[in-house]
Amino acid sequence: MIFILLYLAKKFRMKNKIKNKVKGSDILQLEVVAIGGYEEVGRNMTAVNVDGEIIIFDMGLRLDRVMIHEDSDVSKMHSLNLIEMGVIPDDTVMKNIEGEVKAIVVSHGHLDHIGAITKLAHRYNAPIIGTPYTLELVKREILSEKKFDVRNPLITLNAKETMDLTPNLSLEFIKITHSIPDAVLPVLHTPYGAIVYGNDFKFDNIPIVGEKPDYRAIKKVGKKGVICMISESTRVNFEGKTPSEGVAASLLKNDLLGTDNENNGVVITTFSSHIARIKSITEIAERMGRIPVLIGRSMAKYCGIAEDIGLVEFPKNTKMAGDPTSVDRIFHQVMKEGKEKYMLVVTGHQGEEGAVLSRMATNKTPFRFERHDQVVFSADVIPNPMNAAQRYMLEARLKLAGVRLFKGAHVSGHAAKEDHRDMIRWLNPEHIIPAHGDFNLTATYAKLAEEEGYRLGEDVHLLRNGQSLKFERII
Amino acid sequence: MIFILLYLAKKFRMKNKIKNKVKGSDILQLEVVAIGGYEEVGRNMTAVNVDGEIIIFDMGLRLDRVMIHEDSDVSKMHSLNLIEMGVIPDDTVMKNIEGEVKAIVVSHGHLDHIGAITKLAHRYNAPIIGTPYTLELVKREILSEKKFDVRNPLITLNAKETMDLTPNLSLEFIKITHSIPDAVLPVLHTPYGAIVYGNDFKFDNIPIVGEKPDYRAIKKVGKKGVICMISESTRVNFEGKTPSEGVAASLLKNDLLGTDNENNGVVITTFSSHIARIKSITEIAERMGRIPVLIGRSMAKYCGIAEDIGLVEFPKNTKMAGDPTSVDRIFHQVMKEGKEKYMLVVTGHQGEEGAVLSRMATNKTPFRFERHDQVVFSADVIPNPMNAAQRYMLEARLKLAGVRLFKGAHVSGHAAKEDHRDMIRWLNPEHIIPAHGDFNLTATYAKLAEEEGYRLGEDVHLLRNGQSLKFERII
Amino acid sequence: MIFILLYLAKKFRMKNKIKNKVKGSDILQLEVVAIGGYEEVGRNMTAVNVDGEIIIFDMGLRLDRVMIHEDSDVSKMHSLNLIEMGVIPDDTVMKNIEGEVKAIVVSHGHLDHIGAITKLAHRYNAPIIGTPYTLELVKREILSEKKFDVRNPLITLNAKETMDLTPNLSLEFIKITHSIPDAVLPVLHTPYGAIVYGNDFKFDNIPIVGEKPDYRAIKKVGKKGVICMISESTRVNFEGKTPSEGVAASLLKNDLLGTDNENNGVVITTFSSHIARIKSITEIAERMGRIPVLIGRSMAKYCGIAEDIGLVEFPKNTKMAGDPTSVDRIFHQVMKEGKEKYMLVVTGHQGEEGAVLSRMATNKTPFRFERHDQVVFSADVIPNPMNAAQRYMLEARLKLAGVRLFKGAHVSGHAAKEDHRDMIRWLNPEHIIPAHGDFNLTATYAKLAEEEGYRLGEDVHLLRNGQSLKFERII
Amino acid sequence: MIFILLYLAKKFRMKNKIKNKVKGSDILQLEVVAIGGYEEVGRNMTAVNVDGEIIIFDMGLRLDRVMIHEDSDVSKMHSLNLIEMGVIPDDTVMKNIEGEVKAIVVSHGHLDHIGAITKLAHRYNAPIIGTPYTLELVKREILSEKKFDVRNPLITLNAKETMDLTPNLSLEFIKITHSIPDAVLPVLHTPYGAIVYGNDFKFDNIPIVGEKPDYRAIKKVGKKGVICMISESTRVNFEGKTPSEGVAASLLKNDLLGTDNENNGVVITTFSSHIARIKSITEIAERMGRIPVLIGRSMAKYCGIAEDIGLVEFPKNTKMAGDPTSVDRIFHQVMKEGKEKYMLVVTGHQGEEGAVLSRMATNKTPFRFERHDQVVFSADVIPNPMNAAQRYMLEARLKLAGVRLFKGAHVSGHAAKEDHRDMIRWLNPEHIIPAHGDFNLTATYAKLAEEEGYRLGEDVHLLRNGQSLKFERII
């Protein structure tokens, strides 16, 4: 005997637009498979199966898990080990899904969205589709992989463009903003309505780099009919609206131009992939008459690529130092010519042991901190005790050296509660699946959806990794 | 066109005992209806429908909602208004349930479990079944009701007893512990297995008043087969195990016997219905050579009933004062004869404006606080900003008077995480529905269940008020 | 036998400039008397006695104390009662100070700095000196006082001006920024060096209304020699630098221009005296094509005066409604013509019961909230359980009405840790006395001072209300 | 010119008893020198100079500072380096104190009170005086020291005994309770009254090991006259009274006897020096029919000494394993014979990397954790991000292994606010100096003292490391 559980929803929200869509066809088969990121922040992966044609969205890493298992070099490890450790999505559930993978779509270039491609993509005979900046980052990942050989074709699709994936399915990239350039909101157009993959995004009207979100396109999709939206939920527990990147720039100006730092060293640390932030910093450096120097391997990688493909233009005198030799050289130069001539933008905002700022603080570089030097953390502490400890150690060392700490000049790249509400109202999706968060986040999203008339288990759904939601038609 | 959502669970947990149960019958119809308490702490109400025979568990109030709507006298209000205000469970969903209500079962005497009986019970042609102490409290509620006339028969069932409700259904009351005497774990025995209503409970091996939980009976039900457990979740986010009432008694002794209070007033406030706590306090008073006085309307009510029906015996010299005149008289006596001769046990641990302690602190009684008098709060602050404010005001006033505050002598009446884990392991239920809490609590319970091998949406279910879970047989 | 305690500082910081100052005179007599605000946030009052000539700085209220004592109408109460209740500074200690009060100097117009003038000033035969906006507010206070008749002369001194108080003492008003216009940093020039009264201030380079702080003047005073600085400490426990008012304007734009609110009501609440904030709001209203309406008694008072004396110019179509009749009239008009045409700026950001926003939320005005209306709190919650409770009630009611809440668009008016460090470095005072805070704040300030080379009890001093610090010359 | 600051206290608390004490002598010279522990929790050291005869109290370590400076082996380091790192007290200030050190008195055996003896004691020509258990621990410290040769005589003084130090000074050891056996409250009797060194203590009436505090002796000293009390303040910010060790025993019983753990491993971790706690644990083991095993180097050291000198008697079948070989052997035995036969008491409650529990969790011992094994943390997390991170890592690993965590069975060894109030009332000291805490703790103590009639800067004093408080007679 087998039980089956029916959530007998009492009132269904009927929508004509969807009704009309399914003209001739009698059988609808639509399934959303939650593979990763539905129980955590990190390792995002979702599959959508439309009548046997499968589209995968994102293949990401979960970095905090690597910390628990010491001494693991991810680049040399096998998928199955990484799955067992919870570092990458467990895509073995794909065996149970009947259909053929037609495309792997990446939303943006953060590692929790593209970092597992090198471990998983080769198992699928399908191209990887993304925007130019994202695909450049995917290429770098593939180059640094030591275990697997990933040969999936890479297909560029620009924001604001649409391409056909199969005769039945097309993919639209709506311009969206996030804390990395060239992020998009992928929309899968199916015969039954659109599937929107809203993971990750914010609504930023002063993004500093790139354009504003394409609100018109979002509303247009909403009007045509959205059958299901998958939405990130990492910051839905913040009331109000996430401030724009323009606010971060104002905060940086406040800290950097308003403090008595003329004769002191000025060091800033932020996310290497946050090109907009780094652009703001370099422009403030220019205004202060200091030479901006971008220091650190990943700092040079992300900024270099962004400049190479024309996404951003840093001030002409900006210097970059990625490999250890150039990092050393630039620090020697700074110490010799005078700190007050430079603004150093470095990796290590979480206090990571090997990163540039921690190495500076423990005198492992030629740089020496002095009393009244200024260090600006333009980043949140990732809320995790191990990060907190690393940051604490770093800050304790800086304070012992008499350094002045500034920590508030940051805004998030994730939508807050009222941003999400606008998204729901504009897209008006038939069903919503919150993603990218543990229960406390996805459940908070579900509560928001209930405020907008949805109901848990009826049209807003909490999935766990490995579960799928199937839509079927009754007559 | 209508969609229906199927959670296609990948692996079902098969259990022989349940298989065997459903011998001849081909059609199983079993439904759990979440009426109240599934989105909040408070207003508990659940219905279970077995082949058209419906059993209701609890009918409670949600008191914090009354505060938002000012100036509302609940005893005079109509059910529909109270439903709209969110104060009592919305039992209008019962219209959609096909079947006949056979019994209203109450688990224990707290108002969030029995407080809505006076507003809802008269609509059902069914008896109310509970333990002696619980039913006495129900009677008092009915007497003080000013709007409705409740005439349902009251049927006493003692802990450790079982009674037949219908030819198919029987009800067992397993002895359990909680922060009120005579609490039970109601078990509904059905042809398809047992339904356990675990809302509320703790596992207390030194309960001070009454016996320990009947672990043997719990395990026996578990062995026979539990198809579904409804479980409270109000304290599942606390790791470990809830301390026993014996610990509270030790803490009280520490505060009361270990402080230099010989020549000062000693006042203690706790939950009026917490008879075990009050017993410990009166016994410590005896040891200190002080006369215990129980002061306040509800203090006299709950303690009086408990003594009347033989649940507890307070020290012989214990005094009680419930109505305003006796309260005044006793305070006069205390002030005249000397505070150091008495130990005052009063209502008002949350700083409620009309309660005895707040009135004492604002000199609205003949009692006067003096420097170095001792006030012991033997209760948590209910985590809600309005309660916090009331308590803050009360404490600020006491401090201005030079009173010494003691706040730690309390233990909860609710199971913590590891208590719940033992319950799950002993009952081994086919399905679990966490109740009595908002998302953050029910979701935390679901995570615990997942640690024990359950899976959200498959065999542990998050219901919202008004939703039901139906079990049907396939084949 | 009497003990006297000597803090025998081991190393004294010698300063030539001060040496030279005290030429002919053999006897130095300088005393700073901490009267109010040294154990709390509120009721600021400090006296400085220089060779028998006494200058008083500020006479403020402590409003949270009024809440504890219910039903007290401050305007009708006597000083001694208010002193006993802790509502106003206890200036009875002035009896022990030998000398004559020459002036009462007010730093800015907030009630915790001027609110006790009506209760205390008449006891001193001395003029009240302040900037134009501050003095206008003092006048209003005097007019509404019902108990005392205050006739002290009011003398205007503009920011950037200096006046002689006595042959030995002169008063300089350095332009400073704070959350109210026309705030200054009063500097008392004495024969022994300057006394700087830094209570309250922030360093804001984009103040929206008025000029930036006069950094040049601050540094100049520092170069001449500061014998003692009294400094506020209310926000010294925040690392970094307080963001400028320009950041608040950006945050408001983000919330107001970036949300889908075209067809909904938009209501903003902020501090009535925060003219810069209100100016930003009205300008955003203009950009949104909405008519700004300033509603509430104190909103009309503070904004009206600011406009009258030419400190600010609101958009031409800005409306104000202060008295109950005009408030009602404007709400009728808004409801009739359509909320989407107006932006309402109202009092009540703390959820105060009688204030406009709370009255709106409980339908005590003609205004009706509807689903998706937007309410922006441009203010912090004052960290106090009673305020928290009021705000919670207000927010709960707004949420029940489906209102969208925005709470982050605010920056403080108080200096943060690194602002204070700059102030110390620029003024380089011989001694520092932190003020305007409880121990946890003044002690945090003392720790900061220790980072800059001071030492508790030696040249940074924690005073309690009623204590004084005397400087005497040895040899 | 030099300034000297006089706190001219307005009202002095006169006490006859002290007046009478100083009969013939015209000159009183009494000085309390704060050497270490006055700006932190850790490295306690205080000197009292009475007319040129100096008594030193405690010489302790500050362990959290060692963590910031990586890779430092304290046992091999020189005093001056350790002073510079802030690890041991900076006793170089002793050069400025005129007089001769007559004795080094140690209050109890915790490292923050005795851990710097090996680095500092050899500089003083004076004996070390302590109770038997404390001196045994001092001996072990001296034996493991690799840099200095400490040859100061060790003199035993039992609790409840008094000895003459010089013709003018005598030392009394009052029996007190703390989280280590044989702790005392040293009282220095001087011609001018008593100096009480209350650092550390709690008032525990059910101490499990040893006797209750000698309240009678405390009150007797108070009646004779206390000129100054130095008091710890580490837990003064907790309202009420610290629970007794008997409560911890009840909590342990609750966790260990009340959980379904019959067939599983049971592991407990607590402070190695907390002999009373370990005694309770072993007795519960006996009741459970399990063999208690004390595992870890320091566990064996502290428990071994306590048993050797007859302070405690563990159950006969108790096993100890200190050195690596025996630890390994015992784990092999446990795994072979069955975990359910043993109760393992191990070091590592803070998740310290090298400690036994962390090694167990990372499979560096023969022990293997299995699903449903029970781990009880009978200790608080020391509030410091690095400890938090270590504990987080440890707990994360245990949870991944399916271990059940219990964390509440602990009570502090430090007095809480109302304990301190009783101490103040009993001793009624002329002056109080709070110690053993940062500003936030010592300032909280000062507030408590103000509640009891003292006043900051007058008779309760906040000293910083290196400062001294001198008492002199006027006339």
Residue from C437, C400, C396, C397 nearest C415 by CA: C437
Contact C22 D1 (CB under 8 A): yes
**What pLDDT shows up at residue B67?**
65
Q: Tell me: the pLDDT tens digits for C272-320?
A: 999 999 999 999 999 999 999 999 999 999 999 999 999 999 999 999 9
**What pLDDT shows up at residue D384?**
78
Quick one: average pLDDT of B106-111?
A: 97
- A vs D, Cβ pairs < 8 A, gives 37
- Residue A325 has a CB neighbour count (10 Å cut-off) of 9
Same domain, C63 and C193: yes
Q: Which chains, if any, share at least 3 CB pairs under 8 A with chain C?
A: A, B, D
Cα separation, B32 vs B231, in Å, equals 13
> Residue C133 in contact with residue C302, Cβ under 8 Å?
no
Query: Per the annotation, does B414 bind a ligand?
Result: yes
Q: Tell me: the pLDDT tens digits for C299-310?
A: 999 999 999 999
Q: For A277-334, give the secondary structure using H, E and C.
A: HHHHHHHHHHHHCCEEEEECHHHHHHHHHHHHCCCCCCCCCCEEECCHHHHHHHHHHH
Domain boundary among C381, C407, C433: C407
**Whole-number Cα distances in Å, A337 to A6, A290, A291, A318, A331:** 73, 12, 12, 16, 10
**Mean pLDDT value across chain D:** 91
Same domain, C261 and C297: yes
For residue B381, the distance in angstroms to the closest alpha carbon of chain C comes to: 13
Q: Check pLDDT > 60 for residue B403.
A: yes
Contact D250 B247 (CB under 8 A): yes
Contact A443 B440 (CB under 8 A): yes
Name the residue of chain A whose CA is nearest to B22's CA. Answer: A1
For residue A54, the distance in angstroms to the closest alpha carbon of chain B comes to: 18
Q: Report the residue from B259, B405, B421 with minimal CB separation from D422.
A: B259
In total, how many domains does chain D have? 2
The sheet carrying D226-232 orders its strands as D162-164, D170-175, D184-190, D193-198, D226-232, D431-435
Quick one: average pLDDT of B92-100?
A: 92
For residue A399, the distance in angstroms to the closest alpha carbon of chain C comes to: 10
Same domain, B43 and B143: yes
Q: What angle (nearest 5°) sits at the alpha carbon of residue C334, between those of residues C328 and C339?
A: 140
Same domain, B187 and B96: yes
pLDDT bucket at D13, cuts 50 / 70 / 90: very low
**What pLDDT shows up at residue A1?**
30
Give the structural domain span for D69: 3-241+413-474
Name the residue of chain D whose CA is nearest to B377's CA. Answer: D240
Query: Per the annotation, does B122 bind a ligand?
Result: no
Tell me the one-letter amino acid at A356: V
Query: Per the annotation, does B170 bind a ligand?
Result: no
Quick one: average pLDDT of B383-409?
A: 91
Same domain, D119 and D207: yes
Contact C260 A407 (CB under 8 A): no
Contact D385 A386 (CB under 8 A): no
Same domain, A263 and A306: yes
For residue B10, the distance in angstroms to the closest alpha carbon of chain A comes to: 8
Q: Check pLDDT > 90 for residue B73.
A: no
Residue from D373, D467, D438, D35 nearest D237 by CA: D438
Residues of D in contact with A390 (CB under 8 A): 389
CATH assignment of the domain containing B467: 3.60.15.10
Contact B461 A5 (CB under 8 A): yes
Contact D255 B241 (CB under 8 A): yes
Cα separation, B178 vs B184, in Å, equals 9
Q: Report the residue from D68, D391, D392 with minimal CB separation from A393.
A: D68
Say whether residue D9 is in contact with chain A using an 8 A CB cutoff.
no
Q: Which of B159-173, B259-273, C37-51, D12-26 has the lowest mean pLDDT?
A: D12-26
Say whether residue A7 is in contact with chain D using an 8 A CB cutoff.
no
Q: Which of A389-403, C228-242, D107-121, D419-433 has the lowest mean pLDDT?
A: A389-403
**What pLDDT shows up at residue C67?**
65
Same domain, D67 and D193: yes
Say whether residue D254 is in contact with chain B using an 8 A CB cutoff.
yes
Contact A392 D400 (CB under 8 A): no
Q: What angle (nearest 5°) sits at the alpha carbon of residue C166, between those of residues C165 and C168?
A: 115
Q: For chain D, give the secondary structure using H, E and C.
A: CEEEEECCCCCCCCCHHHHHHCCCCCCCCEEEEEEECCCCCCCCEEEEEECCEEEEECCCCCHHHHHHCCCCCHHHCCHHHHHHCCCCCCHHHHHHCCCEEEEEECCCCCHHHHCCHHHHHHHCCCCEEECHHHHHHHHHHHHHCCCCCCCCCEEECCCCCEEECCCCCEEEEEECECCCCCCEEEEEEECCEEEEEECCCECCCCCCCCCCCCHHHHHHHHHHCEEEEEEECCCCCCCCCCCCHHHHHHHHHHHHHCCCCCCCCEEEECCCCCHHHHHHHHHHHHHHCCEEEEECHHHHHHHHHHHHCCCCCCCCCCEEECCHHHHHHHHHHHHHHCHHHEEEEECCCCCCCCCHHHHHHCCCCCCCCCCCCEEEECCCCCCCHHHHHHHHHHHHHHHHCCCEEECCCCCCCCCCHHHHHHHHHHHCCCEEEEECCCHHHHHHHHHHHHHCCCCECCCECCCCCCCEEEEEEEC
Same domain, D92 and D72: yes
Q: Check pLDDT > 80 for residue B196.
A: yes
Phi, psi dihedrals of residue C180, rounded to the nearest 5°:
-145, 150
Contact A473 B22 (CB under 8 A): no
Residues of D in contact with A397 (CB under 8 A): 68
The 3-state DSSP composition of chain A as helix, strand, coil percent (nearest 5) reads 35, 20, 45
**What pLDDT shows up at residue B450?**
96
Q: What number of helices (H) and strands (E) belong to chain C?
A: 15, 20
**Token pair 């901490």: residue:** C34
Q: Check pLDDT > 50 for residue C361.
A: yes
Q: Tell me: the pLDDT tens digits for C209-237?
A: 999 999 999 999 999 999 999 999 999 99
Quick one: average pLDDT of B138-162?
A: 94
Pick from A64, A70, A392 the residue to mutate for testing the D interface (most D CBs within 10 Å): A392
Say whether residue A257 is in contact with chain D using an 8 A CB cutoff.
no
For residue C392, the distance in angstroms to the closest alpha carbon of chain B comes to: 7
Name the residue of chain D whose CA is nearest to C4's CA. Answer: D472
For residue B173, the distance in angstroms to the closest alpha carbon of chain C comes to: 39
Residues of A in contact with C451 (CB under 8 A): 402
Say whether residue C452 is in contact with chain A using an 8 A CB cutoff.
no
- B vs C, Cβ pairs < 8 A, gives 37
Q: Check pLDDT > 60 for residue D9.
A: no
**What pLDDT shows up at residue B312?**
97
Cα separation, C153 vs B413, in Å, equals 66
Pick from D205, D219, D251 the residue to mutate for testing the B interface (most B CBs within 10 Å): D251
Same domain, D217 and D249: no
Q: What angle (nearest 5°) sits at the alpha carbon of residue A193, between those of residues A190 and A195?
A: 75
**What pLDDT shows up at residue D29?**
82
Residues of C in contact with A400 (CB under 8 A): none
Domain boundary among B379, B407, B435: B407
Residues of A in contact with B9 (CB under 8 A): 5
B3 has which bridge partners? A473
Q: Check pLDDT > 90 for residue A410.
A: yes
Contact B250 D254 (CB under 8 A): no
The pair of three-digit structure tokens given for residue C311, joined into one six-digit string: 């400190």
CATH assignment of the domain containing A346: 3.40.50.10710
Q: Tell me: the pLDDT tens digits for A15-51?
A: 323 333 334 444 568 999 999 999 999 999 999 999 9
Q: What is the DSSP letter of B380?
A: P
Query: Per the annotation, does C178 bind a ligand?
Result: yes
Q: Report the residue from D3, D18, D443 with minimal CB separation from C443.
A: D443
DSSP codes of every residue in B420-458: HHHHHHHH--SEEEEESS-HHHHHHHHHHHHHTT--BTT
Say whether residue C386 is in contact with chain B using an 8 A CB cutoff.
yes
For residue C251, the distance in angstroms to the closest alpha carbon of chain A comes to: 6
Q: Which of A216-230, C16-30, C138-152 has the lowest mean pLDDT?
A: C16-30
Q: Check pLDDT > 50 for residue C107.
A: yes
DSSP E strand stretches across C112-212 = 128-130, 154-156, 162-164, 170-175, 184-190, 193-198
**Whole-number Cα distances in Å, D346 to A126, C367, D266, D300:** 54, 66, 11, 10
pLDDT bucket at B223, cuts 50 / 70 / 90: very high
**Token pair 């209570």: residue:** C199
Cα separation, B229 vs B197, in Å, equals 6
Name the residue of chain B whose CA is nearest to D408's CA. Answer: B240
Say whether residue D68 is in contact with chain B using an 8 A CB cutoff.
no
Q: Check pLDDT > 90 for residue C25.
A: no
Contact C3 D472 (CB under 8 A): yes
For residue D393, the distance in angstroms to the closest alpha carbon of chain A comes to: 7
> Residue A406 in contact with residue A374, Cβ under 8 Å?
yes
Same domain, C294 and C252: yes
Residues of C in contact with A260 (CB under 8 A): 422, 425-426
Contact C472 D6 (CB under 8 A): yes
Same domain, C321 and C369: yes
Domain boundary among D379, D407, D435: D407
Contact D455 C471 (CB under 8 A): no
Write out the H or E segment, with its range, that includes residue B80. Answer: helix B79-84
| Spatial CB neighbours of B66, under 8 Å, sequence gap ≥ 6 | B72, B74, B85, B87
For residue A34, the distance in angstroms to the closest alpha carbon of chain B comes to: 12
Say whether residue D10 is in contact with chain C using an 8 A CB cutoff.
yes
Residue from C312, C273, C263, C314 nearest C296 by CA: C273
**What pLDDT shows up at residue C72?**
63
Q: Check pLDDT > 80 for residue D70.
A: no
pLDDT bucket at D244, cuts 50 / 70 / 90: very high
Quick one: average pLDDT of D158-164?
A: 98
Pairing of strands B154-156, B128-130: parallel
**Mean pLDDT value across chain C:** 91
Q: Check pLDDT > 90 for residue D129.
A: yes
Same domain, C165 and C209: yes
The pair of three-digit structure tokens given for residue B113, joined into one six-digit string: 């479990």
